Amino acid sequence: MSDFPHTPPRFSWTFSPEVNAEIRRAAASGIYDIRGGGSKRRLPHFDDLLFLGASISRYPLEGYREKCATDVWLGTRFAKTPIHLDIPITIAGMSFGSLSGPAKEALGRGASAAGTSTTTGDGGMTEEERGHSKTLVYQYLPSRYGMNPDDLRRADAIEVVVGQGAKPGGGGMLLGQKISDRVAEMRNLPKGIDQRSACRHPDWTGPDDLEIKILELREITDWEKPIYVKIGGARPYYDTALAVKAGADVVVLDGMQGGTAATQDVFIEHVGMPTLACLPQAVKALQDLGMHRKVQLIISGGIRSGADVAKALALGADAVSIGTAALIALGDNDPALEEEYRKLGTTAGAYDDWHEGRDPAGITTQDPALYSRFDPVLGGRRLKNYLKVMTLEAQTIARACGKSHLHNLEPEDLCALTIEAAAMAGVPLAGTDWIPGRAGF
């Protein structure tokens, strides 16, 4: 009997080891899993698009000598002082509180050196960030932590946050371990508690009331600053149109790959849409209203390289924003710290329990013993380098497509590798003229 070969062990795809571990964890702890970062799933993304470089029908530009410009104006619709950036890559909103002071300083230094902006997060504006960021966008969130008119007036732009890609429909969350003395004071909360944040703004709901709120913010700042409206990608066509109707100067759209400091894993992985699916919808809304390029569009959520920047611009964005990528450039999840990650029960590249505040890189922590390891000057240089590389990469691609400005990239410069990407991006499958979903297919 024992001579028969027996069936080898076989895992279930549905009940995979990861899924089972999560079920056991839930049963043991009685709480949902909370983590940082954006969606970790493989999703249709910019990788599934390719550029059609110059050949005989199109001619390329020479590198270096023949200029490919990269600058962008943001906020030209209503603001007295719109923002001019040297590169179309900005740093997304991340709070002091979720990030350490030195990390925020590094972001400010690097962004300023590269000629772009940073954004405050769900905790208010710090002196360090205002001091180190040449151009600073000030977020206006449901929590209103630290909100005050003086900071509104010292900001270069104001970003009304309706939602973010990691959790469209959700609020901010900062668990007790990161509410240090300084964070508690800035947010007016007792130290050490779990901060609950509201998911809707306290004093307006809906685009008709948003219009009145934007009017108030403009009045308080004497109509000087561009007003951005940030949305998590869910119904981007309608949301973009409504943001325009409510009076936004700039729309910031964040797809589900967009990161967060901490929220429920189910939110990150199961609510929202991939950035690739969101972007063309928002562009179409602007075009249908005759507002493309008049109300600028910034896209974020999984931007990693100059190729992503170029593809986002080709699909119609005016600029992109990076969050996760900026942190990795600063040194988050660096394999050099592998031994420490092992002690935390994880490994470099997978560490996402930032809410516990034990980041060995000193970036997503409020523990002075840890954040003192992080050198903000070096961090700033690394970020600047990364931003410059992305810009050069985007220029290389754009020149190869015959463009003298990144903004002249267009959807017709692209083809898709998969049916999903073709349908979502609205570009043809490579080697065909088929765009799924158009013309009755």
Partner 1 sequence: MCGIVGLFLKDRALEPKLGEMLTDMLVTMTDRGPDSAGIAIYGRPQKGKAKLTVQSADPDADFAGLDAALSAAIGGPVAIAVKDTHAVLTVPSARLDSARSAVRTLRPSVRIMSAGEEIEIYKEVGLPKEVAARFGLRGMSGTHGIGHTRMATESAVTTMGAHPFSTGPDQCLVHNGSLSNHNSVRRELRRAGMTFETENDTEVAAAFLTHKMDEGENLGQAMAATLTDLDGFFTFVVGTRNGFGVVRDPIACKPAVMAETDQYVAFGSEYRALVNLPGIEEARVWEPEPATVYFWER
Partner 2 sequence: MQTFDLAAEGLRALNATLHALKDKTNETVWEVVNPRGAHAIAAGVDAPVEITVRGSTGYYCAGMNKQATIRIRGSAGPGVAENMMSGTVIVDGDASQYAGATGRGGLLVIKGNASSRCGISMKGIDIVVHGNIGHMSAFMAQSGNLVVLGDAGDALGDSLYEARIFVRGRVKSLGADCIEKEVRPEHLALLADLLRRGEADGKARPEEFRRYGSARKLYNFSIDNAGAY
Instruction: Considering the complex, state which of residue 144 and residue 373 has its C-beta at the smaller distance from partner 2.
Output: 144
Out of 208, 216, 410, 412, the residue judged to bind partner 1 by CB under 8 A: 208
Stretch that binds partner 2, among 90-98, 103-111, 204-212, 322-330 (CB under 8 A): 204-212
d(CA 302, CA 45): 8
Q: How far is CA 356 from the centre of its chain?
A: 22
Out of 149, 206, 368, 437, the residue judged to bind partner 2 by CB under 8 A: 149
d(CA 104, CA 123): 12
Based on the shown chain and the rule CB under 8 A, indicate whether residue 189 belongs to the binding site for partner 2: yes
Helix (H) or strand (E) holding 307: helix 306-314
Q: Enter the tokens of residue 53.
A: 């470089």
Out of 188, 347, 372, 404, the residue judged to bind partner 2 by CB under 8 A: 188
Out of 5, 8, 9, 30, the residue judged to bind partner 2 by CB under 8 A: 30
CA 73, 77, 81, 82: dihedral to nearest 10 degrees? Answer: -20
DSSP E strand boundaries for 147-295 = 157-161, 173-174, 195-196, 227-232, 250-254, 263-264
d(CA 104, CA 107): 5
Q: Which does 235 bind (CB under 5 to 8 A by kind): partner 2, partner 1, none?
A: partner 1
Q: Which does 112 bind (CB under 5 to 8 A by kind): partner 1, partner 2, none?
A: none
Task: Fill in the DSSP letter of residue 335.
Answer: G
Task: Fill in the DSSP letter of residue 192.
Answer: T
d(CA 139, CA 118): 11
Residue 223: CB minimum distance to partner 2, A: 7
Among 285, 228, 264, 267, smallest CA distance to 79 is for: 228
Instruction: Considering the complex, state which of residue 205 and residue 432 has its C-beta at the smaller distance from partner 1.
Output: 205
Out of 81, 188, 205, 347, the residue judged to bind partner 1 by CB under 8 A: 205
Question: What are the backbone dihedrals phi and psi of residue 322, each rounded to the nearest 5 degrees, phi first?
Answer: -120, 145
3-state secondary structure of 222: coil
Q: Which does 200 bind (CB under 5 to 8 A by kind): partner 1, partner 2, none?
A: partner 1
Out of 242, 273, 286, 315, the residue judged to bind partner 1 by CB under 8 A: 242
117 within 8 A of 133, measured Cβ to Cβ: yes
d(CA 34, CA 262): 6
Task: Tell me whether strands 319-322 and 296-300 are parallel, antiparallel or unpaired.
Answer: parallel
Residue 237: CB minimum distance to partner 1, A: 9
Side chain identity, residue 79: A
Number of residues located near partner 1, criterion CB under 8 A: 13
Q: Which does 290 bind (CB under 5 to 8 A by kind): partner 1, partner 2, none?
A: none
Residue 19: CB minimum distance to partner 2, A: 21
CA 413, 417, 419, 421: dihedral to nearest 10 degrees? Answer: -60
Helix (H) or strand (E) holding 417: none
Out of 211, 224, 338, 375, the residue judged to bind partner 1 by CB under 8 A: 211
Q: Which of residues 308-327 bind partner 2 (CB under 8 A)?
A: none
Instruction: Considering the complex, state which of residue 194 and residue 356 has its C-beta at the smaller distance from partner 2.
Output: 194
Mask for 212-231, x = binds partner 2 (CB under 8 A): xx-xx--xxxxx--------
3-state secondary structure of 93: strand
Among 410, 386, 389, 384, smallest CA distance to 398 is for: 410
Stretch that binds partner 1, among 64-72, 154-162, 238-246, 414-422 (CB under 8 A): 238-246
Q: Which does 149 bind (CB under 5 to 8 A by kind): partner 2, partner 1, none?
A: partner 2
Number of residues located near partner 2, criterion CB under 8 A: 31
Q: Which of residues 31-70 bind partner 2 (CB under 8 A)?
A: 31
Based on the shown chain and the rule CB under 8 A, indicate whether residue 236 belongs to the binding site for partner 1: no
Instruction: Considering the complex, state which of residue 196 and residue 200 has its C-beta at the smaller distance from partner 1.
Output: 200
Based on the shown chain and the rule CB under 8 A, indicate whether residue 204 belongs to the binding site for partner 2: yes
Among 99, 91, 38, 92, smallest CA distance to 363 is for: 99
How long, in residues, is the chain?
441
Based on the shown chain and the rule CB under 8 A, indicate whether residue 190 belongs to the binding site for partner 2: yes
Stretch that binds partner 2, among 195-203, 276-284, 340-348, 381-389 (CB under 8 A): 195-203
Helix, strand, coil share (%) of the chain residues, nearest 5: 40, 15, 45
Residues at the contact surface with partner 2, assessed by CB under 8 A: 29-31, 143-144, 147-149, 152, 175-176, 188-190, 193-194, 196, 198, 202-204, 209, 212-213, 215-216, 219-223
Give residues in contact with partner 1 (CB under 8 A).
200, 205-209, 211-212, 235, 238, 241-242, 245
